Amino acid sequence: MNGTEPVEVRFWGVRGSIACPSPETIAFGGNTSCVEIQCGASHVILDAGTGIRQLGNALVESGGVVDADILLSHTHLDHIVGLPFFGPAYCEDSNLRMWAGHLGPDHQLKKVLGAMMGDPLFPIPMDVMAANKSFGDFHAGETLNLACGARVKTCPLNHPNGATGYRVEQNGRAVCYVTDTEHVEGMHDEHILALIQDADVFIYDANYTDEEYEAHRGWGHSTWQVGAELAEMANVKTFVPFHHDPSHDDDAMSQIEAEARGRFENTVVAREGLTLTL
């Protein structure tokens, strides 16, 4: 990177919990979490939900060989289930560095992913992936310096079994990915506020509305209303509600988008294919 190249953020999967492709979700998309940050030839991939398959197909069509860091918010199934279908992982010249900051000493990332791709859950073991692979376990709160030159700050999130929020800094731009976290009513998470301060893009877990949250306390997710409050407090440039509930069809999402823009003007609700150029 030469410091002048644009940073592009592209959304390949925007849903939470389970993929929900249907005629009612065409406009916003039905794949689970996957966001690509590209700067020059470098790729930082946030989560490996079902959306990573389409990302992989696009990369294979453009050459197949990939050098990328895959930052996992956590290893619940909807955030990793697309990994076995990521085409570049089967190219021996690809380099994939996978990271997770929530597992702790009893669960290492390589073992967790290997268990997903193992008997009796999956017929093809991870060793079939011919790419050069590495697995980085860290503690949420640490800062990572990636091979592509990006600096990544992290923070712990409030989610069952733990999760990690990321701030990816490249070429003077900051993209924050904060999904699968539950707010505490009447309080604002100081870890998140510090992470997203003055960010160019703030992607946030907006699984519920405030009204829906009443019936889902303890489920590990937040609302677009809380996200808008955080964006305003932290002087964020663009707020992106993300991790949409599978029950929210296109009509519901359009209503959420209109209401969110009324609360925080520079709101762009995540949808598959959306590209933000910084």
* Domain extent listing, the chain: 8-277
Q: Which long-range contacts (CB under 8 A, 24 or more apart) does 25-28 make?
A: 25/249, 25/250, 26/250, 27/250, 27/253, 27/254, 27/271, 28/244, 28/248, 28/250, 28/253, 28/269, 28/270, 28/271, 28/272
Six-digit token pair at 156? 């712990």
> Chain-wide mean pLDDT for the chain?
96
E strand or H helix at 205: strand 201-205
**What pLDDT digit, counting tens, does each position of 164-200 carry?**
999 999 999 999 999 999 999 889 999 999 999 999 9
pLDDT the model gives residue 1: 43
Q: Which of 41, 44, 5 is nearest to 175 (CA)?
A: 44
For 70-80, the pLDDT digits (tens) are 999 999 999 99
pLDDT per residue over 105-129, tens digit each?
889 999 999 999 999 999 999 999 9
Bridging pattern class, strands 238-242 and 275-277: unpaired
Q: What is the pTM of this model?
A: 0.96
- In this structure, the number of other CB atoms found within 10 A of the CB of residue 77 comes to 12
CATH code 3.60.15.10 for 8-277: yes
Query: Is 221 in contact with 207 (CB distance < 8 Å)?
Result: yes
